[in-house]
Amino acid sequence: MSTELLIGIHSVEAALNYDAGNILELYVESGQQNPRVRELAERARDAGVKPHARDKADLDRMTGGARHQGIAAKYRAPPARSESDLPAIIDAAGNSALFLVLDGVTDPHNLGACLRSAEAAGVTAVIVPKDKAAGITPTVRRASAGAADRVPFVASTNLARSLKLLRQSGIWLTGLAGDGNQSLYACDFKGPVAVVIGSEGEGMRRLTREACDFIARIPMQGSVESLNVSVATGVVLFEVLRQRTG
């Protein structure tokens, strides 16, 4: 496990909610009157973590000038899951499997927003390439509003191989691209599926696209060529949820 600094109310609260045992130290701005910060400090004490008072200048230096809202925590971050974990994740999900595959998303704010949508839509796991893609960082945790701690996150050393495993396990792969040959709303997402979305600039890589069973597009009427990757992710995942919940 690596150690990182959680910055701000949302990040610290998420860790207290879902992984309090890995909070090593808590830092609270001296004289802090924010009731949410004070509540988190009390919860940390109850969990056996003693809050340390720091003046604002110290906390500013510690967090690199980030907007810390008067609170930060040293956190022992669990490692991402690997390809070897996928078979068990797939088996546990069964026919309700919904995987989100992000092929090379590099902006941590985009990844955090994608994780937030994934958690809200009930995604089974998010799969990313281990290299040349964003991983879970403090920035991602803040942008995800705690979702980074609740959605299984798989860093694959060979994304094409992981996609092949999904297909062999009976999961249909739908890639998203502006030149897709069918509308997103014509796709059937009721069975076990994986939604595959490419990077911010280049979209899906060739091998990733070739691994997909279908290539769909989001119908648009405006003049923009594409949506932000996190916006597109939200559109697709909530179409899946709409179909599954009626």
CATH number of 10's domain: 3.30.1330.30
**How many distinct structural domains can be found in the chain?**
2
Q: Which pLDDT score is estimated for 138?
A: 83
Q: In which residue are the tokens 């989100």 written?
A: 100
Q: What is the pLDDT of residue 1?
A: 60
pLDDT at 236: 98
| Same domain, residue pair 23 and 124 | no
Residue the block writes with tokens 């932000």:
228
pTM (global) more than 0.75: yes
In this structure, the answer to whether residues 65 and 94 fall within a common structural domain is no
State which of 77, 98, 130 marks the end of a domain.
77
Q: 217 with 131, same domain? A: yes
Residues 55 and 144 in one domain: no
Residues 175 and 196 in one domain: yes
Q: Torsion over CA of 159, 209, 169 and 89, rounded to 10 degrees? A: 40
Inter-CA distances, 3 with 17, 22, 78, 128, 151, Å? 18, 9, 9, 21, 20
Of 21, 54, 77, the position where a domain reaches its end is 77
Question: Rounded distance, CA 184 to CA 113, Å?
Answer: 21
Beta bridge partners of 194: 99, 173
Task: Give ∠ CA 106-111-117 in degrees, rounded to 5.
Answer: 155
Q: What is the pLDDT of residue 3?
A: 87
Number of C-beta neighbours around residue 117 at 10 A: 23
Residue 14 sits in which domain range?
2-77
In 100-147, where does DSSP find H-type helix? 108-121, 138-144
Going residue by residue through the chain, which has 246 residues, state the pLDDT in tens, using 9 for 90 and above. Answer: 678 999 999 889 989 988 899 999 999 999 888 999 999 999 999 999 999 999 999 999 999 988 999 999 999 988 899 999 999 999 999 999 999 999 999 999 999 999 999 999 999 999 999 999 999 988 898 889 888 888 999 999 999 999 999 999 999 999 999 999 999 999 999 999 999 999 998 899 999 999 999 999 999 988 787 899 999 999 999 999 999 997
